[in-house]
Amino acid sequence: MFFLASSNISFPYMSTLTEGAKAPAISTTTDTGEPFTLASLKGKNVVLYFYPKADTPGCTKEACEFRDTSKKFSKENTVIVGVSPDKSAAQAKFKQKFDLPFTLLADEDHKVAEDYGVWKEKSMYGKTYMGVERTTFVIDTKGVIKKIFPKVKVEGHAEEVLAAIG
């Protein structure tokens, strides 16, 4: 948690995680509206990827790359989980439209994004706003962050992540 020197306002979304740190707990809902916890995946590697908005060009390309390599990830005892600030219904529609074989998490209050340090100030067309910075975390079977891919470039990203697991 960070504080401005001249006030009591805290900005929890400014935390930064490092490789080798324990992954923050996650408790939110899935694309089906079911409860989800990261702890439920203990014993598996987890690819936790954050994306700004379901069914937009870059996010669709990234999701489809993970979809197309999902069997390779399964062979490596790895589960793919996508996270965005979208509602469960939007996540479900996105998942169905592109036949995504993995769980998408609805992080409407952006708590998960804040806990992982990817809820950041962004700018577009001269306006600043808060949003998700496209980032991927590889979490090992014991819940430790093995690799962080900040400011992801979508093209070829899934294969890059797969290489980091093997």
Contact 158, 69 (CB under 8 A): yes
Phi, psi of 113 (to 5 degrees): -60, -40
Instruction: Name the catalytic one among 41, 59, 100, 152.
Output: 59
CA-based nearest residue to 51, from 158, 159, 166, 160: 158
Contact 108, 83 (CB under 8 A): no
3-state SS, residue 149: strand
64 an active-site residue? no
Beta strands in 26-165 (DSSP E): 27-30, 35-37, 45-50, 78-84, 103-106, 119-124, 127-132, 135-139, 145-149
**Annotated active-site positions, please?**
59
